[in-house]
């Protein structure tokens, strides 16, 4: 915040506080502070007249206490422009202290579960550990994969046992720790629009769908074998080592209709799974891995 706006906020804030205080004191009738009167303020509404009585004593002192509290708060905590307060409090420091406290309290619990293998954590007696993994999944992963892990367009479904890089516990953990960078190159310049349509039509047949009318499936197959098998394998079943999806199981990351497949071939795709190693401890990642593994092994 610039010096001007800091001064502006400070002046406005203090002016409101002191203005209200002045108004409170200026309208106080000291000679009637403990008295009531039959005098009215001189006007009536629907036949109802308002007596000209002072504020009750307790009410007046409550206003004064509020002003004192407000000034004290603004001296101790941020609130007057760039003034940081005498205590030096910030929301970031408060968050760090709370996280440190939580880490100290729950570290032994995480460490206990870290001694168990992913397979052992699937057992009923370790259900509490899986629930912890579920809560951490909801906090860190659900924004992309959904609260139930069912994914969305461009974000893999974690419940169907169809894995881009493999669904073994060690592979899942590696994905969470280091992240993934998937790349499908664009083929529009190589194939041309007719070639894109032919290949898309052929790809549809790999999962049992009918070819699209007006396309040359034979040419599509020829182009697929020449350009796509290095990643997707000659039979289209994909390759875990490269994260290349299986094109024969009718499970699609970006949609499986002709238009969506053709767009993928034409423009390519770029998927990124962010690494979590700098955000989550190894013990927490272990529990999230166990939970993700459980989604497709129920």
99 is in an annotated binding site: no
Q: Is residue 144 part of an annotated ligand binding site?
A: yes
The answer to whether 20 is a known ligand-binding residue is no
The verdict on whether residue 184 carries a ligand-binding annotation is yes
Residues 195-224: b if buried by 16+ CB within 10 A, e if exposed = bbbbbbbbbbbbbeeebbeebbbebbbebb
Among candidate residues 164, 159, 199, the one with its CA nearest the CA of residue 179: 164
Residues 6+ positions from 206 with CB-CB distance below 8 Å: 236, 247, 248
Instruction: Kindly report the length of the chain.
Output: 298
Contact yes or no for 158/295 (Cβ under 8 A) = yes
- Collect contacts of 118-124 with beta carbons under 8 A, ≥24 apart: 118/169, 118/173, 118/286, 118/289, 118/290, 118/293, 119/169, 121/287, 121/290, 121/294, 122/290, 122/293, 122/294, 122/297
Annotated binding site for heme c: 141, 144-145, 184, 228, 231-232, 273
Binding-site residue ranges: 141, 144-145, 184, 228, 231-232, 273
């Amino acid at each position: 915040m610039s010096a001007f706006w800091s001064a502006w906020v400070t002046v406005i804030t203090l002016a409101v506080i002191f203005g209200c205080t002045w108004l409170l004191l200026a309208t106080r009738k000291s000679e009637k502070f403990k008295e009531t009167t039959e005098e009215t303020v001189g006007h009536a509404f629907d036949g109802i007249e308002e007596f000209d009585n002072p504020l009750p004593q307790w009410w007046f002192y409550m206003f004064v206490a509020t002003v004192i509290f407000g000034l004290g708060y603004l001296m101790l905590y941020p609130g007057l422009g760039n003034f940081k307060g005498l205590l030096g409090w910030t929301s970031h420091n408060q968050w760090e202290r709370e996280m440190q406290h939580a880490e100290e309290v729950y570290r032994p619990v995480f460490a206990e579960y870290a001694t168990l293998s992913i397979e052992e954590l699937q057992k009923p007696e370790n259900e509490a550990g899986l629930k912890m993994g579920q809560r951490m999944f909801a906090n860190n992963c659900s924004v992309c994969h959904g609260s139930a892990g069912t994914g969305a367009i461009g974000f893999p479904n974690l419940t169907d046992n169809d894995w881009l890089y493999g669904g073994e516990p060690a592979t899942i953990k590696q994905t969470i720790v280091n992240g993934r960078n998937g790349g499908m190159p664009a083929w529009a310049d190589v194939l041309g629009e007719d070639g894109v349509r032919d290949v898309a039509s052929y790809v549809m047949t790999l999962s049992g769908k009918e070819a699209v009318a007006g396309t040359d499936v034979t040419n599509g197959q020829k182009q697929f074998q020449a350009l796509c098998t290095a990643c997707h394998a000659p039979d289209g079943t994909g390759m875990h080592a490269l994260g290349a999806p299986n094109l024969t199981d009718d499970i699609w990351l970006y949609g499986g209709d002709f238009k969506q497949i053709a767009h993928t071939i034409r423009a390519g795709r770029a998927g990124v799974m962010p690494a979590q190693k700098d955000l989550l401890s190894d013990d927490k990642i272990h529990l999230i891995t166990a939970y993700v593994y459980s989604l497709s092994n129920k």
